[in-house]
Chains A and B, each alone.
Chain A
Amino acid sequence: MEVERTSVGDVQVFRIKGRLDSGTSTAFEAAVLKTIGPGANRVVLDFTQVDYVSSAGLRVVLLAAKQTRAQQGGFAIFGMAKPIHHVFEMSGFARIIALFDDEVAAFASVSPPG
Chain B
Amino acid sequence: MLLRTRIVLIFGLATIALLAALLVPLLVVQNLTERALTTLQREEQGAAWSAALENAATPFELLLSQLTVDPALLAATTSYDVATAGRLLSAVQARTGVYRIDILARQDRLFASSAGLAAETPLIDTNNLALRLQRDPWLLGLEAAPDGQMLLVVTTAFPDGRALSVGANVSAVLKTLGHDADRKLFLVDRGGALLLSTSEADWPALSAALAGRDGAIQFDREGRRFDVASTPLLNTAGLEIGTLVSMRDVTAESQRRTLVLLVTGAAAVLVFMALLLALYGFTKDALDPLAEITRMIRAMAAGDAMVSAEMPDRRDEVGAIASAVEVFRRDIVALARTKLTGTLRQAQQQALIRSEMARLADVLEAGEREDLLADLAEIEASAEEGTELAEGFRRMAARVTAQHRKLADLLAERTRDLDTVRQALAERAQLSRLRQELEVARHLQLSSLPQVFPPFPHRRDFEVFAAMEPAKEVGGDFYDFALLDGDRLAVMIGDASGKGVSAAMFIAMGRSILRSAIVRGASPAQALAVANSTLAVENHTMMFATVFAAILDLRTGWLTYASAGHNPPYVVSEAGGVSVLGGASGIALGILEDAEYEDEEQLVPVGGSVVLFTDGVTEANAPDLSMFEEDRLEAALAGLALAHPNEAVATILAAVRRFADGAEQADDITVLSARYLGPVQTAAAGSVLMTADATGQETA
Contact = CB atoms under 8 A, between A and B. Distances in A.
B358 to A, nearest CB: 57
Contacts of B517: none
A22 B588 contact: no
Task: Across the A-B interface, give the 6 residue pairs with the lowest CB-CB distance, nearest first.
Answer: A92-B587, A91-B565, A55-B497, A62-B542, A63-B542, A59-B497
B542 A59 contact: yes
A59 B586 contact: no
B586 A92 contact: yes
A92 B666 contact: no
Contact of B544 (A21, A59, A90): A59
A93 interface: yes
A22 B565 CA distance: 19
Q: Is the interface of A mostly helix, strand, loop or mixed?
A: helix
B525 to A, nearest CB: 14
Contacts of A21: 666
A96 B591 contact: yes
Interface of B: 473, 476, 495-499, 541-544, 546, 564-568, 585-588, 591-592, 595, 615, 619, 625, 627, 666-667
**Highest count of chain B CB atoms <10 Å: which of A21, A54, A96:** A54
Contacts of B591: 62, 92-93, 96
A92 B564 contact: yes
Given A54-B619, A54-B666, A93 B498 contact: no
| Interface secondary structure of B, over-half rule | loop
B585 A56 contact: no
A17 interface: no
A19 B585 CA distance: 26
Interface in A19-42: 19, 21-22, 25
Contacts of A54: 619, 666-667
Contacts of B587: 91-93, 95-96
B633 to A, nearest CB: 14
A76 B476 CA distance: 28
Interface of A: 19, 21-22, 25, 51-52, 54-56, 58-60, 62-63, 66, 83, 90-93, 95-96
B667 to A, nearest CB: 7
12 contacts: A22-B499, A22-B667, A54-B667, A55-B496, A59-B541, A59-B544, A90-B546, A90-B565, A90-B566, A91-B544, A92-B565, A93-B591
Contacts of A92: 564-565, 585-588, 591, 595
A27 B473 CA distance: 18
B565 A93 contact: yes
A81 B83 CA distance: 218
B564 A59 contact: no
A66 B588 contact: no
B446 to A, nearest CB: 19
B592 A59 contact: no
B586 A55 contact: no
A91 B546 contact: yes
Contacts of A59: 497-498, 541-544
Residue from the set B564, B567, B619, B625 with the largest chain A CB neighbour count within 10 Å: B619
Given A22-B498, A22-B667, A58-B544, 13 more contacts: A21-B666, A51-B625, A52-B619, A52-B625, A55-B498, A55-B546, A55-B667, A59-B498, A62-B591, A63-B541, A91-B588, A93-B588, A96-B591
Contacts of A56: 497-499
A100 B137 CA distance: 204
A12 B544 CA distance: 26
A19 B495 CA distance: 20
Contacts of B499: 22, 56
Contacts of B565: 90-93
Contacts of A51: 625
Nearest to A92: B587
Contacts of A95: 587
A26 to B, nearest CB: 10
A87 to B, nearest CB: 8
B615 A55 contact: yes
Nearest to B495: A55
A54 B497 CA distance: 8
Nearest to B614: A55
Nearest to A22: B499
A58 B503 CA distance: 14
